[in-house]
Every structure is written in C-alpha cells, then in structure tokens.
Amino acid sequence: MFATLSIGVTLLLVLLLARPTGLYIAKAFQYETTRLDRWFGWIETPVLRLGGIRRDDQTWKQYALAVIVSSLVMILLVYLVFRTQAYLPLNPSHIANMEPTLAFNTAISFMTNTNLQHYSGESGLSYLSQMIAIVFLMFTGPAVGLSAAIALIRGLAGKPIGNFFIDLTRSITRIFLPVSFVMAIVFVALGVPQTLEPTVIAHTLSGEVQEIARGPVGSLLSIKQFGNNGGGFFGVNSAHPFENPGAVSNLLQIVLMMLLGTAIPFTYGKMVGNPKQGRVLFLSMTMLFIVLLGVSLSAENAGNPVLNAMGIQHEQGSMEGKEVRFGMVQSSFFSVVTTAFETGAVNTMHDTLTPLGGLVTISNMMLNTVFGSVGAGMMNVLMYVMIGVFLSGLMVGRTPEFLGKKIEGREMKLIAVTLLIQPMLILAPTAIALFAYPETISNPGFHGLTQALYEFTSSAANNGSGFEGLGDNTPFWNIATGIVMYLGRYFSVVTLLAVAGSLAAKKPVSETSGTFRTDNGLFAGVFLGTVLIVGALTFFPALVLGPVAEYLTLKP
Amino acid sequence: MNLIGSSIRLSLVFMLVCGLLYNLVVTGIAQAVMPKQADGSLLLDEKQNVIGSALIGQTFTDLRYFQSRVSSIGYHAAGSGSGNYAPSNPDMLARTQASIEAWQKDNPDVPLSRLPLDLITNSGSGLDPHISPGAAEAQIPRISKLTGIPAEQLMAIVAEHTSGRELGFLGEPVVNVLELNLDLTKLMQ
C-alpha cells in the first residue's frame, strides 16, 4: 500500500509540473521580447557581453559547429583543471593530479551529460575540481543538449534554427541556475553537507578512528539531478547518506530527474503550434515507463531466490546493495527513473539488482526513448517519430510528410546513419572488451557479459550509471568509453541538426485528408511499435546472453 | 577566429558563474543558516569531540551493542562502496552463508526466520546508518543476556529510536544504530 501511495504521489507531482514547465521552456527560448528578458537581463546582459556574443541567427551548420567547438573548448579547460588540481587552491584533503586517460574520460563524461565516473569523488577530486570542473560541466552539458533540441524543434516548426550561444546562456540563466540554487538550499536543510572544510576525524563509540569525507555536496546534488547529469559527489552517488539522507530528499531527487524530460514534449507541442503532437508522445512514453517500472518492482520484490531459500525473513525483497531508508520500493523506482531519464545517479547498486531488475535499467538505456535526458532524449524521440512516419508512408505508398514537410531521401539517409551508430557504439566495443580484457570483469558467468554490455550502453546513451563491480579505471576502459560517450552525444546532434536544416528549407505542403496524422492514437501505436521493433531487433541477442540467461539459471 | 574566441570567453564566464560563484554562494548561505547540517550532522560528546555523524553508520564488533549491516568497506567513510555482488555471484552466497552461521552462534535464542534480510546484506553505500526495526528487535535477546538489561527496557529504547515513514508514507521505518547504541551505553553504566 505504501509502495503504491509513495510512487503515485511522486508521479502525480511530476504530472502536475510537466506541462507548466514545458510551456515555460518554450517561452524562455522565444526570441521575441518577453517579460523573462527583464527578469533575467541583469545576469544575461553581462554574460553575453563578456562572451562577446551577438544575436545573429545561425545556419544549421554554424549552429552545429558552435556546439562542437565550444564543447571541445570546455573539455580542454576541464582536462587542464584535473591534470593540475594538486597545485590549485581549495584542496584541503591533498588530492593528487588526475592520471591522463582518466582525466580524458572524466572531462568527456561530464561534457556529454553522461557522468560516467571511473574515479571516486572522495579520493579523486579536490573541492576546486568538484566546483569549477564538475559542477561547471553539469550546467553546460545539459544546456548544450537542451539548446540542440530547441534548435531541432525550431527547424521542424519551419522557423530559423536560432543562435547556439544565446540558447546556451538562456538554458543556464533561465532554467538550470534558478532551480538548482533553490533546491541546493533545500537539500542542505534535509541534511546534505555544504562545506569547504576537509574530511573530519571521528573517534567512534567502539574506540576506532573514522574519517568522514564531506564537502560542497548540496550545490552539486541539485544540478546533478535536475540536469540529468547523475555524477555523484561521493563514489556511491545518491546511495551515500550524505548525498541522499532520507525518503523526502529521495522523492525530490526523483522529481528533479523527471521534470525536464516530461516537460519537453509540451514545449515541442507549443513550438510547433499543435499541443496534441506533444501530448501523444508524452502519453506513449508514459506507457512504456509504467510497464518497465512494473517489471522492475515485481522482480525486486520477489528478491533473490537463492538467498530467500536460506531460511531468513525476506519480506523486504532484495536488499543486497540497497539502503534500509529507501527499501526495495524506492530503490527500484529510482533505478527505473535514473535510466529512463538518462541521469545515471543511483541510490542502489545496479550490479546487485536482480536479473530482471537489471534488464529493465539496461533496456531503458538501449531504447533511449523513454523520455531520455534533457534535450538529447527528445531529439532521439523525434528521430523515431520520423522513422515511424517514413515506415507508415512506405506502407501506404505515399511520400511521407511530417509537420507539413516532405521527408525524403536526404533526411532518411541521415536518420538511418544515426540509428545505426548506436548499436555499433555498444556492441562492437563490448565484444572487444569481453575478448581482450576479461580480467577487468568482476562477476563470473552471464552477469559478467552484462557488466561490459551495461558499461557501453550507459556510455552510448550518455546515462553514466555503471555496474560498478567493473574494474573500469584502466587505459582501455577510459579511452574506449571516452570515445563512445563523445560519439554517442555529438554524432546525433550534428546529423539531426542537418535534418532540421534540411526540413526548414523545404516548402510546406498543405494538409489534405490523405495526410498521415501524427497527433492521434494511431500514431502513438506506430511510434511505440517502431521503438520496440527497432530496439528488440538490435539488442535482443545480447540481452538473452546476459540478464535473461542469468535469470533462468538463478535457482536455489 | 570569432567562433573560437567566443567559445573560450563564454566558457570561462560560465566556469566562474556556475563553477565558482554558485557553489560559494550556496556554501555561504548554508553555513550561515544551518551550520549543523552543512557540516555533516556531526555528533559530539560532552567534551565536544566528534564521535561520528548521525547520517553515517559505524562498525560495532562488541556483541553487547546493536550490530549494523554488512559493509564491504568496514564503515570507512573516507570512501564509500559495496561489494557489487550480482545475485548469482558465488562469493556473495558464501558471505551470506557465513553471516547466517555467525548469527546462529551469537543468537542461539532467536530462530533464523526472525532474522530480517537487511542485517546480513551489504548496503549500497557501505555506510548505511540504519537497520530495520525488525533487525533491532531480533538482537534484543542477545544484548539482554550479555548486559543484564531487561528486554522491556531495550524494547523501549529501540521504539524510541525507530523513525516511521517520512511524512507518514515515504520510504521505510528505520532505526539509527549509532544513536541507539549511544543510549544503550547510558543504560550499561
């Protein structure tokens, strides 16, 4: 009963917030003068002046180039911070400089909104690095994703693509900074530390010495969740009592993770001038989400049959790798949300999930269309929408149209390449890892395959959670996942912006009774069918060898 | 080139605003308004020495104390982590088997069916400050026998340190082991 109630209340809260947030985002990116210009002018005007930015419209090529170049600049800046952190100030716990392949991996990881972490925050980063490298990219990473998605939607709506630097700035000043600031204070009130003092030494009740790591956690935590970043201040992320002290902080983190992903379909509906277009996608994704959540809850509730057979009291469900204050329900719920919304924060160790609970998390990332992360998720969803439209067009023998524009050879070629790159990025390096570096995999049997598969799926989908038993801080894993994360992010940004540019340049065709509609229940079915068929065809064999085989062989 | 110049300048501005200013302003406000939470909810003894944090678990090897959950890192809060054992991992099954045997040796009066799973599984953080109320109650017969404190009295302090679901419906009921043992110490004297 408490399970249903707590999940129901959380989802209701998100449902109430999604539409107003979506409409607010649409307004925040309008280039016509709005009231928001006055509210945020005091910070935006100096930022843009210091950056030397003018408000010119860019072509899709200029926009994409600006995305690539500014991201490279930020990766480089942060790389330099990691490599020199020992010499820089605000390092009270005397953390050493980061090793080159790890710094390469970490800089890309945070720029691409992935937040895969091959280091442990307590021992790998100085406070300065946590602030000017990690938190800095936690703002700009999702802001790049959101900007690109807005540009794509503008293109689909037949408007000019916009200016990347203006969009980037507005994402941060109008959306990410205000919410993160307020929520950081709330999290501290709930018990999350926020200090520049070093690790504290405690003399425990049993007479032992306990070192307790702490730091400026609250300010990182709010943007970590709200920007779908997911990288923890501490090694175990939101399972750490300092990074998630109780059930209320847990609820707020879940809501923050879900907020932008659920809002953007409404932004899309508003910007293309037909709210039903957005609502159809929102409802389709909600259905996928609910089904996957149900599977995870029932698997985690059933627990591990081998442990259950040992005669202990096991009404709690699976508890290995989980925290008592969250219990099975809030842990399972969190694991589904963090992978559906491509955040990658964890409050339970995903390696210890039951086979089917783990299967849900990995499926979320492979589909990458159950809402997905800020911006990037919506771009991927719109790509599947166009594939759905194209397939329907083929079936009835008409040139497919989407939002009044013909989808033709050039767009479909770009989309097909984008669609093919994702399995390439996941399956090929997984095979290499299993073949060449089996010693880095900590669990024997089928689960070992899942560990490697999970790591690359998480990298390609820019999720960033891990099956943490993997010995992943080695040059191979650092460089391989670094490359996968980079391509997983920027390849589709460029190709989809090209699609947007190409569609925006076309003459609109008028809608007739023969036009295939993309704002009704039939299209929801087409969209879901496309997502599931493409996803299943691509990944089913790998899933059978990993989690499904583990499930079938797990007997007392 | 203009693009590269603008990218560098804007990046540095955001590094300053989002990286430095944002963090420092939040830290300033947090330290001024709620220093206790901001410093890590530290627990002090009469002499103002730090004995731990209300949010971070500790190891209790002395059988007269309530025991915490299994921790692969021994509650060393300089780091955090778990064994990350898959449900099919033979090492995890062996560890659980060993925990069960130890439990039966130390708690001969409590049947295995009253031992809740959380007490013999590794928490996610390795620092879990809590156990379930059932896991605390199951330890009462042992502690009562070793310390001579009547079971009813122990029952009372467990009840006192049991926090219900937050807001009445969120999360799970928990017992904070360190705070419970601090009270237990007073009863022992």
Q: Name the residue among A248, A320, A327 with its Cβ closest to that of B121.
A: A320
Subunit contact A235:B131, Cβ cutoff 8 A:
no
Subunit contact A2:B29, Cβ cutoff 8 A:
no
Subunit contact A184:B26, Cβ cutoff 8 A:
yes
Number of domains in chain A: 1
- Chain B nearest-CA distance from A304, in A, is 6
Q: How far apart are the first and last CA of chain B?
A: 76
B146 touches A at CB < 8 Å: no
Q: Residue A4, CB half-sphere, CA atoms under 13 Å: how many?
A: 1
Contacts of A43 in chain B (CB under 8 A): 17
In a domain, A474, yes or no: no
- Look at residue B175 in the predicted model and tell me its pLDDT: 97
For residue A28, which phi and psi values (nearest 5 degrees)? -60, -30
Element (H, E) at B42: strand B42-44
Per-residue pLDDT of chain A in tens (556 residues, 90 and over written 9): 888 999 999 999 999 999 999 999 999 999 999 999 999 999 999 999 999 898 889 999 999 999 999 999 999 999 999 999 999 999 988 999 999 999 999 999 999 999 999 998 888 999 999 999 999 999 999 999 999 999 999 999 999 999 999 999 999 999 999 999 999 999 999 999 999 999 999 999 988 999 999 999 999 999 999 999 999 999 999 999 999 999 999 999 999 999 999 999 999 999 999 999 999 999 999 999 999 999 999 999 999 999 999 889 888 999 999 999 999 999 999 999 999 999 999 999 999 999 999 999 999 999 999 999 998 999 999 999 999 999 999 888 888 999 999 999 999 999 999 999 999 999 999 999 999 998 888 888 889 999 999 999 999 999 988 887 788 889 999 999 999 999 999 999 999 999 999 999 999 988 888 788 899 999 999 999 999 999 888 899 999 999 999 999 987 7
> Which of the 8 DSSP states describes residue A311?
T
DSSP for B93-110, written as a single string: HHHHHHHHHHHHHH-TTS
In a domain, A126, yes or no: yes
Top residue of B67, B123, B179, B183 to mutate, by most chain A CBs within 10 Å, is B123
The CA-based angle A202-A216-A374, given to 5 degrees, is 135
Top residue of A42, A163, A179, A194 to mutate, by most chain B CBs within 10 Å, is A194
In a domain, A371, yes or no: no
Subunit contact A210:B61, Cβ cutoff 8 A:
no
DSSP for A274-287, written as a single string: -HHHHHHHHHHHHH
Q: Contact, A469 vs A360, CB < 8 A?
A: no
Q: How confident is the model at residue B1 (pLDDT cuts 50, 70, 90)?
A: low
In a domain, A356, yes or no: no
In a domain, A15, yes or no: yes
Q: Contact, A431 vs A480, CB < 8 A?
A: no
For residues B78-89, b (16+ Cβ closer than 10 Å) or e, as one string?
Answer: ebbbbbbbbbbb
B140 touches A at CB < 8 Å: no
B75 touches A at CB < 8 Å: yes
For residue B161, which phi and psi values (nearest 5 degrees)? -95, 10
Q: Which of residues 165-184 of A touch B (CB under 8 A)?
A: 165, 168-169, 172, 177, 180-181, 184
CA distance B142 to A550: 39
B32 touches A at CB < 8 Å: no
- Look at residue A55 in the predicted model and tell me its pLDDT: 83
The first and second tokens of residue A10, run together, are 């959380």
In a domain, A179, yes or no: yes
Residue B106 has pLDDT above 80, yes or no: yes
Contacts of A192 in chain B (CB under 8 A): 37
B131 touches A at CB < 8 Å: yes
A364 touches B at CB < 8 Å: no
Q: Name the residue among B38, B42, B88 with its Cβ closest to that of A200.
A: B42
- Look at residue A470 in the predicted model and tell me its pLDDT: 83
Contacts of A2 in chain B (CB under 8 A): 165, 169
CA distance B21 to A219: 11
In a domain, A67, yes or no: yes
**What's the residue count for chain B?**
189
B47 touches A at CB < 8 Å: no
Can you tell me the ipTM of this complex? 0.96
Residue pairs between chains A and B whose CB atoms are closer than 8 Å: 370
CA distance A367 to A346: 19
Q: Name the residue among B11, B40, B81 with its Cβ closest to that of A77.
A: B11
Domain hosting A147: range is 2-273
Q: Which of residues 400-459 of A touch B (CB under 8 A)?
A: 442-447
Q: Contact, A399 vs A408, CB < 8 A?
A: yes
DSSP for A120-185, written as a single string: -HHHH--HHIIIIIIIHHHHHHHHHHHHHHHHHHHHHTTS----HHHHHHHIIIIIIHHHHHHHHH
Q: Name the residue among A69, A136, A188 with its Cβ closest to that of B18.
A: A136
pTM: 0.95
In a domain, A25, yes or no: yes
Subunit contact B124:A139, Cβ cutoff 8 A:
no
Closest chain B residue to the Cα of A327, Cα to Cα: B172
